Structure 1
Amino acid sequence: MISDNEKQQIRQLFANDQKYTSNEKKIQNDFIVQMQIAKYDFKNKDDPLLIQAGLTDQKQSVFIIQGKFQNENNVRSIAYYMISQLQNQKNQEYFIIYINTELLTYLNLSKFYSIFKEFPCVYFENLQKIFIMHGNIFIKSWFWFQNSVQIKVLKSKTIYLEKVAQLLNYQFFKKQQFEKMPAYCKDSSYPQFQQAFIGNQLQVIQQSTNQIYNLELDQYEFTNKGIPLILDLCITRLLQDPQNIQIEGIFRLCSASTQDKQFENYLIQKQYSEILDFENIIVIANFIKRVLDKLKYSVIPYQYYDQIFNTKQYSIEQTQALIQQFPILNRNLFTLIILVLQSVASYSHINKMTSSNLSIVFGISLCRPQEYEQANVQEQYQKIKMVNQFIQFIIDNATEIFPNQKISDFLLDTEEQQIDQQQ
């Protein structure tokens, strides 16, 4: 769901844009006319370039738009259809999947974005994300030449995907959306995509119910806020009392293996109320770190490892841009962990866990290479040291890197919600 803060920021952007405010009355009036046309213009419902792919579990609409625009009629018919679907619920949020089919120009993309030219601010507030499939340099460079407030907002909500299977990283994407994807979207990742809904689905579910380590991130059970449920429970318990994160050496102290096993059994058996009442905070802190250590793939995707240790000087903007490229599940978890570590570091005068100490403990848990080069241990040590410095920089600057984001944005609100999630 889009937070009220995000919507307020978009509202403020539009309010501060002179060109938009001077035309706002005309846009509102034109939109009323478009709404009337949308009620009676049935031609758009047959437009092969747009697919209404149903609703997410949170009742958000999903539109699939194919980038084969022939003329302005395509643009108008799609605009009218979207209006007809969204106008009934003023605050209905929605996703768009745009399938790029033009390799040499950005002409079709330009036509696609013109759909929003006369949309009021509320439609920009309620847009969750635009996913551009098969983007290229022409597509990405199109934004360089645009300066309207509408395009600025749309750019901030746009995510590029190279392979169709990358849609699996996004919790909203369900079997019904998959079935609506046109045939020409097939690429080398398509079999993987199919198996997620067909052959491997039962296997993944069975595996994740009996196993809590060595899983891929998307094999865990997730809350509706995009965080693995077992980590949500543990972090919620950890933060229930501020004194928990004031324990000296938190995340560094060892715990008894017997208690670790007892705690793990509660999770395997889904005795979640026991987790929220578990008294040994060190066991919980160690479990959080152990899950991150034993993820099948690093929280920060492998392809960014070299980029991180080769960066000599970090900036807020570069770091934000890098994190924005992570798949949504990775980005959610990474952001939550950093915000928790920032909170722990704020008590470093008591718990002795400074951002430097925390980065040493969590650096390799959050960011590791696909393979370690055993031949050059000294070089690997230097790389790990650089990664730790990067994590420390993010902890120290978390407020600026993640503005308007807080831990509660990623956790379920109450103990009852935690339990109800599984009933």
Structure 2
Amino acid sequence: MNSGAPSSGLDTEGLYRVSGNKADQENIQLLFDKDHTVDFRSLGISVHSVTGALKSFFTALPEPLIPYEQQKSLADAVGIENEKDMITALQDVVKKLPQIHYDVFKFIITHLHRVYQHNQNNKMTSENLSICFWPTLMKPNFTDMASITATLVSRTPIQPFILHCPTIFRSRLEPNSFLQPAEGKLIDIEAEPGNL
């Protein structure tokens, strides 16, 4: 699977923070709806348009990737001061996600962890990425107490997942998982360098 953002795009300043062209984002969605194997590199569009389309995809989902009923547990886990205990609690939260939610969440967090590793160039720290993504992945419902609590506890509830991605997801790694080393390195979930 391919995020659409090329490896060279990982160094693009403001990745996921800077908005791309709205028309390009809509075109990406239309093309993807018709063909899930579309090669975004052939479209001649900016990395920001691809990342914007990805965020729009999650925003358009009828339910958040992190279900509302688990957002209070997530907020409680993020609020734990001891790092080791917090990581254990976050592992417990993700274990309770429905399998498809877990798989997609693991994929997107692994990608964000990778973006974070390039933060000296792209200026996207784990906090910046969490600020950009948590409303997209959690879809805060300000009439729901769990969502209000998650918002009040931290504006960056997915930051610990980005920082501690390999540790948090280690307990549920399957053979050939994209988090497992392949030929001595992590599998590149981004495309090879090139123009989009």
User: CA–CA distance in 2 between the matches of 1:383 and 1:408?
Assistant: 28
What SS class does the counterpart of residue 244 from structure 1 fall into? helix
Mapped contact 1:341–1:358 kept (Cα < 8 A): yes
Partner AA of 2:142 in structure 1: Y
Comparing 278-287 with 353-362, which one deviates more in the overlay?
278-287
**Structure 2 residue 96 is matched with structure 1 residue 317:** no
Give 1:274 shift: 4.1
**Structure 2 residue 41 is matched with structure 1 residue 244:** no
Partner AA of 1:373 in structure 2: T
1:354 corresponds to: 125
Give 1:318 shift: 1.5
Partner deviation per Cα, 1:322-357 (whole Å, 9 max, x = no partner): 111111000000111111010000011110000000
Partner AA of 2:87 in structure 1: I
User: CA–CA distance in 2 between the matches of 1:412 and 1:338?
Assistant: 14
User: CA–CA distance in 2 between the matches of 1:263 and 1:386?
Assistant: 35
Mapped contact 2:75–2:150 kept (Cα < 8 A): yes
CA-based RMSD: 2.9
Mapped contact 2:13–2:124 kept (Cα < 8 A): yes
Change in 2 beyond 3 A, CA 1:268/1:274: same
Give 1:300 shift: 1.0
1:296 corresponds to: 62
1:305 corresponds to: 71
What 5-or-longer segments of structure 2 have no aligned partner? Answer: 181-186, 192-196
User: CA–CA distance in 2 between the matches of 1:248 and 1:389?
Assistant: 20
Change in 2 beyond 3 A, CA 1:407/1:276: farther
Partner deviation per Cα, 1:218-266 (whole Å, 9 max, x = no partner): xxxxxxxxxxxxxx44x1x21xx42111100000111222222322222
* 1:131-150 matches, cutoff 5 A: none
User: CA–CA distance in 1 between the matches of 2:170 and 2:12?
Assistant: 28
* 1:243-392 matches, cutoff 5 A: 243-270=8-35, 272-279=37-44, 280-311=46-77, 312-313=79-80, 315-369=86-140, 371-373=141-143, 380=148, 383-384=150-151, 386-392=153-159
Partner AA of 1:305 in structure 2: Q
Change in 2 beyond 3 A, CA 1:341/1:256: same
Partner AA of 2:31 in structure 1: Y
Partner AA of 2:161 in structure 1: I
Identity of aligned residues (%): 19
Give 1:276 shift: 4.7
Higher RCO (C-alpha 8 Å, min separation 6): 2
Structure showing greater radius of gyration is 1
Give the alignment's TM-score, normalised by structure 2: 0.75
Runs of 4 or more above 6 Å deviation: none
1:397 corresponds to: 164
Change in 2 beyond 3 A, CA 1:308/1:273: closer
Mapped contact 1:364–1:388 kept (Cα < 8 A): no
Give 1:387 shift: 4.9
2:184 corresponds to: none
Mapped contact 1:340–1:407 kept (Cα < 8 A): no
More strand by share: 1
What SS class does the counterpart of residue 254 from structure 1 fall into? coil
Give the alignment's TM-score, normalised by structure 1: 0.37
Give 1:308 shift: 2.3
